[in-house]
Structure 1
């Protein structure tokens, strides 16, 4: 149950409408947006932060929520902010957050990040995932909550970035097995574009070239990887990458 408002808070205008059962759509990729059909719900920043936190963590105790969202103030002040935030969410007339021992998003809220992450994990776990090139993890997604720099957002942003990179590499490998070299190369190159210093992405590109018999292209990709690793990180390609090119026998020094 949502906490009751204090005597100093203004009266609720109408309260939650029991007939409002439409599903809410929460978008976190590319920026925060909560909508119901064509209607966009405007929430104060603290309400956005709480909703986003619960969307990414699934659930949290009140103590966890106040500690994460308002670490710079006293526990009493943070608890007061949480009560106000929950009251403002209640004033929207829609069930967005449930408070049953733990705080959690209501069952009627669909989250783009959750949908995308489930598709990514299904793709990684199921070799027979249908039509892998069109799976959600391959589709472009915006940055998670751009402009938000809290530690919990940065950590989740990096987790999702890594999940996408792994999903793309997995798709590329399966496309090679199917003989779909053009799609495999396009997918692998997208990983290189997303993270130029990721050696496994360069390996994926080289594997496509070798599968097609394009040894010159494979050597050129090796050289490109070597240049970017030396320039950005001051390291050389690993023996694992060099092993791919053993049959090509690149010149000494590479």
Structure 2
């Protein structure tokens, strides 16, 4: 079966054998663009504009012809065992064949995201969590890491957002299961991609407390302060500061994510306990609001422009 990896290092294999002849960067970029937008055909003019925008018209047309020849020669080669039927090419249009069968890493990531979109991490089933785990393991690096064309940068950011959203769900899921070390590992993975992601810093602070490591929680706050100052030139939000003060004073009483909301009659009656309880609710609501805003932003970016 044809397998294509666009994340991190570009690679194409058929039945575990490397497909040769695709070493040229423009051939890789052309195939990647077609696969990312695999649901529709593309005119040659669009491909030229997207991939050869900095070239003269003659150079761009020649470059596209050469890239398509390289792709067809590699994927539709004379060896019948290597004939994939992946591309449909004519004098005007190029597209991924709707009848071709292939495995694509970004397709797995996108399909997994669509299946669990709108489901909080703590509500994932074991099967859903396993599927998300498999999907994020495919993300070993960014889309076409050596390509800096505008279209690629946009798609790279979109896929990064999908990966981070899935990691967020896994972090919350593992916290719900009481697997605090796994949850922390996902949080650290998120911060390697986006070190100024404040909601992740907050969640890690709470997780370290749940795991009994107050020192690590306080150090996480310090890391958050440095990241926000370096990346965004801002200070932590009030929710983050409130959480830090509660941890520092050793008054944090973080409820189990799976627990039902505390009824009003059972709410702590002492003023310090009540204040701490409300601060934690405030932090949780802020995280939820941020997650919803990110999902809305992604959906808006996927909608076609209004006429």
Band of TM-score, shorter chain: 0.7 to 0.9
For residue 250 of structure 1, report the CA deviation from its aligned partner. Answer: 5.7
How big is each residue's C-alpha offset from its partner over 1:70-104, in whole Å with a ceiling of 9 and x where there is no partner? 11234465345434433443334232312477532
The answer for the alignment partner of 1:24 in structure 2 is 2
**1:51 equivalent in alignment to 2:31:** yes
Aligned residue for 1:41, secondary structure, equals: coil
Count of matched residue pairs:
229
The answer for the alignment partner of 2:20 in structure 1 is 41
Question: CA separation in 2, counterparts of 1:232 and 1:26?
Answer: 34
Q: Is the 8 A contact 1:137 1:167 kept in 2?
A: yes
TM-score if structure 1 supplies the norm length?
A: 0.76
Question: CA separation in 2, counterparts of 1:134 and 1:182?
Answer: 15
Question: CA separation in 2, counterparts of 1:65 and 1:133?
Answer: 33
The answer for the alignment partner of 1:104 in structure 2 is 95
Indicate the structure with greater helix content: 2
Identify if the C-alpha distance between structure 1 residues 174 and 243 changes in structure 2 by more than 3 Å, giving closer, same or farther.
Answer: farther
For residue 53 of structure 1, report the CA deviation from its aligned partner. Answer: 1.0
Identify if the C-alpha distance between structure 1 residues 25 and 248 changes in structure 2 by more than 3 Å, giving closer, same or farther.
Answer: closer
TM-score if structure 2 supplies the norm length?
A: 0.64
Matches within 5 A, 1:155-234: 155-212=154-211, 214-234=213-233
RMSD value, Cα: 2.9
Structure 1 residue runs without a partner (length 5+) = 1-22
Matches within 5 A, 1:4-153: 23-37=1-15, 38-43=17-22, 44-58=24-38, 59=40, 60-75=42-57, 78-92=60-74, 93=77, 94=83, 95-99=85-89, 102-106=93-97, 107-126=100-119, 127-128=124-125, 129-131=128-130, 134-138=133-137, 140-153=139-152
Aligned residue for 1:98, secondary structure, equals: strand
Aligned residue for 1:247, secondary structure, equals: helix
Identify if the C-alpha distance between structure 1 residues 208 and 81 changes in structure 2 by more than 3 Å, giving closer, same or farther.
Answer: same
Identify if the C-alpha distance between structure 1 residues 84 and 243 changes in structure 2 by more than 3 Å, giving closer, same or farther.
Answer: same
Identify if the C-alpha distance between structure 1 residues 184 and 80 changes in structure 2 by more than 3 Å, giving closer, same or farther.
Answer: same
Question: CA separation in 2, counterparts of 1:199 and 1:86?
Answer: 45
Relative contact order higher in (CA < 8 Å, ≥ 6 apart): 1
Q: Is the 8 A contact 2:5 2:11 kept in 1?
A: yes
Q: Is the 8 A contact 2:105 2:138 kept in 1?
A: no
Identify if the C-alpha distance between structure 1 residues 159 and 250 changes in structure 2 by more than 3 Å, giving closer, same or farther.
Answer: farther
Structure 2 residue runs without a partner (length 5+) = 78-82, 251-307
Identify if the C-alpha distance between structure 1 residues 138 and 122 changes in structure 2 by more than 3 Å, giving closer, same or farther.
Answer: farther
Aligned residue for 1:187, secondary structure, equals: helix
For residue 136 of structure 1, report the CA deviation from its aligned partner. Answer: 1.8
The answer for the alignment partner of 1:247 in structure 2 is 246
Aligned residue for 1:103, secondary structure, equals: strand
Question: CA separation in 1, counterparts of 2:35 and 2:129?
Answer: 27
